[in-house]
Amino acid sequence: MDIRDIMDADMLAVESEATLREATQRMSERGAGAALVGNPGVGARPGIITERDVLESVAAGQDPDRQRVADNSTMDVVTVPLDSSLEQAVDRMLKGSFRHLLVVHGDDIVGIVSMRDLVQALTNR
């Protein structure tokens, strides 16, 4: 089993100018803990916004109705190749202290995998 077997290819994307509230509403509707930022089809690699990014913004006293996704997302995203093993993905996540990882095939973003996905796959649940 490798990343391609567990990744989610139906990735949620939000515009960089959306508010944090708009992004979290869309994430909540989809049951997603992260979303791509921007349009991955344009050729530029998208960023990512996660639950943790939103939590840190609100904890800092920022207004989710005024804060933009672009100001609270990670644009220098760590990725893993499509043919990576589950163990390689876990290693990347642990070294980077994050819970979501974009999966790439060449220059294309083809999926996203969460720490939960990895734990479920590695424990056969």
Q: What is the pLDDT of residues 20-40, one digit of tens each?
A: 999 999 999 999 999 999 755
pLDDT more than 70, % of the chain: 94
| Tokens 């220059």, residue located | 107
User: Could you tell me which CATH number the domain at 3-122 has?
Assistant: 3.10.580.10
Residue extents of the structural domains in the chain: 3-122
pLDDT tens-digit map of 52-66: 999 999 999 999 999
Q: Which has the closest alpha carbon to 91: 78, 107, 105?
A: 78
CA distance readout (Å), 123 to 47, 51, 120:
30, 24, 5
Positive or negative, the CA dihedral 41, 24, 11, 51 is: positive
